[in-house]
Amino acid sequence: MGTAERKIIDVLEGKTVTPPPIWLMRQAGRYLPEYRQVRATAKGFLDLCYTPDLAVEVTLQPIRRFGFDAAILFSDILVIPDAMNRNVRFKEGEGPLLNPINVDGIEKLVMPDVKTYLAPVLETVGRLRRELPQETTLLGFCGAPWTIATYMIAGHGTPDQAPARLFAARHPKTFEKLLCLVAEASAAYLVAQIDAGADAVQIFDSWAGVLGEGDFENYAAKPVKRIIDMVRAERPDAKIIAFAKGAGYNLKTYRQTTGADAIGLDWTVPLDFAAELQKDGAVQGNLDPLKMISGGDDLEAAIDRILDKLGNGPLIFNLGHGITPEADPANVEKLIARVRSHGAGR
């Protein structure tokens, strides 16, 4: 079937590849002992992201161990607000913290010099493309404007993103300005990653699921379309995956609205609905990350259900969200083996 790099690009072009290519969100992370060793040498999480020697190493670790079909740049979605001088930091046990932004702060925001501020990340991308096996796809990424805005307004993660939802209702024009600026910076960042060597990119909208229908269209789908349009204006052949976690039925028109080549599916998306979405193009997902802890028959049955329903169309096999620190690496090996046996003998 050609190289793994071509396999994923083929899927993103709407072709069916058997067995489907596989990678896992957060595949470089705390479930791997080798990652924990490197993480202990860094001054902090952002230091790990901004130190190419370390970021390259942890990105390569799951490729060496498991031979995934794609490596995804080790970084964080909050590097964009960090480039906007929002004082991003990560506190152990609390997650990301930022200086909360208000109306006045948004009015004073200016487009950051992404290439300069995030030069270490772009160096990591270039080194990864040189050091990765040629057959391994290199994925870059960014956060979606809605998700980035939720952190910028609240200053931290919240269960339902009420601070951002209320801000958007009370200050719609200012909120729109924030979304537009984040989209513009994110598009520049993705173009720079592609130019540095990324074969494809993913846009993560981790908090899309808290939005109702109208707000989803305005705050999630249209800003992602803005990013994709700006990227394609400069790099017409760019391959882009859009992942709106928790979007549910709102995914029905998400691909058409955004122009994404593939849409990521979280584990709550029913497989019959996923098969309907797949008629319009590639899908990515959508194994429950907890199956990587439970293992055994539970894991195998869940893998088979996805392959039986989606394996005969354009599919990139993945989890429905990031792998958790409690995941058993042995279960990852079983997952890869079972996916790669799909279609054997057909």
Question: How confident is the prediction along the chain (346 residues), in pLDDT tens digits per residue?
Answer: 446 568 999 999 999 999 999 999 999 999 999 999 999 999 999 999 999 999 999 999 999 999 999 999 999 999 999 999 999 999 877 889 999 999 999 999 999 999 999 999 999 999 999 999 999 999 999 999 999 999 999 999 999 999 999 999 999 999 999 999 999 999 999 999 999 999 999 999 999 999 999 999 999 999 999 999 999 999 999 999 999 999 999 999 999 999 999 999 999 999 999 999 999 999 999 999 999 999 999 999 999 999 999 999 999 999 999 999 999 999 999 999 999 998 775 4
Cβ atoms of 90 and 44 within 8 Å: the answer is yes
Q: How far apart are CA 251 and CA 268, in angstroms?
A: 12
* Whether residue 30 lies in the annotated active site: yes
pTM (whole model) above 0.85: yes
* Whether residue 170 lies in the annotated active site: no
End-to-end CA distance of the chain: 14
| Residue of 76, 261, 266, 288 marked catalytic | 76
Full set of structural domains in the chain with CATH: 4-340 (3.20.20.210)
* Whether residue 297 lies in the annotated active site: no
* Whether residue 129 lies in the annotated active site: no
Could you tell me how many helices (H) and strands (E) the chain has, helices first? Answer: 18, 9
Q: In what order do the strands lie in the sheet with 262-264?
A: 70-72, 137-143, 200-205, 240-244, 262-264, 282-287, 315-319
Q: Which two tokens stand for residue 218?
A: 């305005």
| Residue of 6, 30, 129, 235 marked catalytic | 30
* Whether residue 104 lies in the annotated active site: no
Largest interatomic CA distance in the chain: 63
| Residue of 6, 39, 232, 235 marked catalytic | 39
| Residue of 26, 86, 226, 255 marked catalytic | 26
| Residue of 31, 117, 151, 254 marked catalytic | 151
Cβ atoms of 157 and 200 within 8 Å: the answer is no
Cβ atoms of 186 and 224 within 8 Å: the answer is no
